[in-house]
Each structure stands twice: as C-alpha cells, then as structure tokens.
Amino acid sequence: MGSADVIPGVSGGTMAFILGIYPQLLAAINSFDLVWLRKVTRFDLKGALTHPHFGFLVPLGAGILAALLFFTRVVPLPQYIVSHPELVYGLFFGLIVASVLVLLRHIPRIDWNMLLHLAAGIVLGLTVVNLVPTTTPDASWFIFLCGMLAITAMILPGISGSFILLILGKYAYIFDALGHFRFSVIVPFVLGAATGLIVFSRFLGWLLHVYRQGTLMVITGLLIGSLWIIWPFQQRTYVEVRGKQRLIESIPTLPETLNATLLESVLLMVTGFVVVVALDRFAQKNAPAGENEG
C-alpha cells in the first residue's frame, strides 16, 4: 500500500484489494467507534488500547511507512515514474488486470444488473482520472472538503487521494502548509480527513455487508477505469509541485516500435499478473472451509 501511494494515479485501497486485506482494513478503521470513544472519555486506558484493531493497524502502518521511505529514499520510485514510466506502470498494470479477473471470478452470478454496476464503476473511474486540475478557493470549508474527498479516494480502490488533491487544485497548497506548520490549513484538512474516514469507511463496510456483489462490481469497474491512466504507454503531462513532478494528464498510446523498453514493460506486466494470481491461489488454499463461496 505504501508503494502504491508513491505512484500517481494508484491508490492504497487498490493494493489493499489486490492483497485481499480490504475487509480487514475497513473493519480496523471502523473499530474506532462510539464504544472506543466512551472508553477514552472515561480514561479507560486498557479498553482504549485493546478495543481498536491495533494488531492489524500497527504492522500495516509500519509497512506503509517503510515502503514510503524505501521507495522515496533508497529506490527513488517517483524519479523512475518520470524517467522509466513504462516499467513502473507496466508492473501495476499487470497487478490491476489480474485483480479485476480475480474479483470477477469471485462473483457467483453475473447478470445484466451486475453488468450495470460494473459499467457505472468504469464510467466513474474514467471520469475521475480524466478530470483537469482547477482553480479553487482557499477557505477553511473547502480545505475541510478536500480532506474528506482525499481520504475517501485513498480508501476507495482505483482512485488516488493525491490525484484528487491535484484535481481540486490544492495539492501544493496543503503540502506547503504541512511543511510550514500552517495550522489554519492543517486543522480543517485533518478534521475533514478524519470525518471522511469515519463516515465513508462505515458506508463502504455497510455496502459490502448488505450488498456485497453489487459493491464488488462497482469497485471492479473503478479498477478497470483506472487502467486508462495505468497503461504503461502514455503521452503524460507533469507539473512541478514543491520540486517534484506530479502527473496531471495522461493519454494512452500504442508502442510504436519493438524495443527493450517494450519487452521489459511486458515482462513486468506478466510478473504483476502472476503475483496476484499466486496470492489469490494461496489465499483460497488457506481460507477456512466455506469462506471461498460467494
């Protein structure tokens, strides 16, 4: 998930789905509920520390942090995205294509209703990744809204939170505020992110509980829509934000010549595809009896 957050257009939620931990992620977020809040207000330290799913969140958070540091400090993935985008996006393209096929295989019955849900997800995904960054206000209410939308996108597979901030015209503004500790911007943004995390994670959890197949089809559609921007061969437009290149527009193209870059990109696509299929086979093999159905 940490490596995905470094890639423009790829969300941590996408990787959570690929790795099969998405339901646990939502459940862990939702464990910070009213029961936990009551324990905090009553100064029940033991209850406040044992009620949330820290056994899941702590190693997950440590892994995300480690990946962010590794892929920005040791292996400068953001630089490779600009210098060798075909290779980086080739790997993620293979990961997502395999994830789509795996998700569709787990839908027991695909009818016209399910196909409509899939189409809705594809349209939504394509719409978001093709939006153009706009000029927006700096008012606190809008920064609060940015926080809500960014964290929602980070949870939702197929949509990148950083890309949403670019679309809203607030990526540089918010990260500059974080770097200079401008709390007049940080506070409404964090409050918005917390609100979005609490509300949307519960809404998604509820949808997956009561309307699992339709929700999975919409999410699968979002992943398919994101392939538009993940396709390795693109005419990409970048903007420099705080000294770093950020993707703002991407138009898919077909490779013109057969060369080493094309072969390496295809090899990484196949590698990503095989990794997801292998992870799915491993998960199915080790799942408790009856869990693989539906």
Looking at the chain, list the stretches that DSSP marks H as alpha helix, in order from N- to C-terminal side. Answer: 2-6, 12-18, 22-30, 34-41, 45-50, 54-69, 77-83, 85-105, 112-129, 140-155, 161-167, 171-179, 183-210, 212-230, 260-286
Within-domain flag for 125? yes
d(CA 198, CA 177): 24
How many domains does one find in the chain?
1
Q: Is residue 184 part of a domain?
A: yes
Residue whose C-alpha is closest to residue 145's, from 124, 167, 125, 122: 167
User: Is position 8 within any domain?
Assistant: yes
Instruction: Say what the alpha-carbon torsion angle 176, 180, 189, 120 is, to the nearest 10 degrees.
Output: 20
Q: Is 185 part of any domain?
A: yes
Domain containing 240 equals 2-286
Per-residue model confidence (pLDDT) at position 290 = 46
Task: Encode the chain (294 residues) as per-residue pLDDT tens digits.
Answer: 776 666 655 667 777 776 778 788 888 888 887 888 888 888 888 888 888 888 888 998 888 888 767 776 676 665 676 678 888 888 888 888 887 888 787 777 888 889 999 999 999 888 877 776 666 788 899 999 988 888 887 777 666 677 677 667 677 678 777 767 888 988 999 899 889 888 888 888 788 788 888 888 888 888 888 788 788 888 777 666 656 666 666 788 888 888 898 999 999 999 988 987 887 777 667 655 444 444
CB 200 within 8 A of CB 102: no
Residue 293 falls inside a structural domain: no
Residue 90 CA to residue 84 CA, distance in Å, equals: 10
- Identify the pLDDT of residue 294: 42
What are the distances in angstroms from CA 246 to CA 27, 165, 286? Answer: 32, 11, 40
The reply to whether 73 falls in a domain is yes
Query: Residue 183 falls within a domain, yes or no?
Result: yes
| Residue 291 lies inside a defined structural domain of this protein | no
What is the C-alpha to C-alpha distance for residues 193 and 145, in angstroms, rounded to an integer?
A: 8
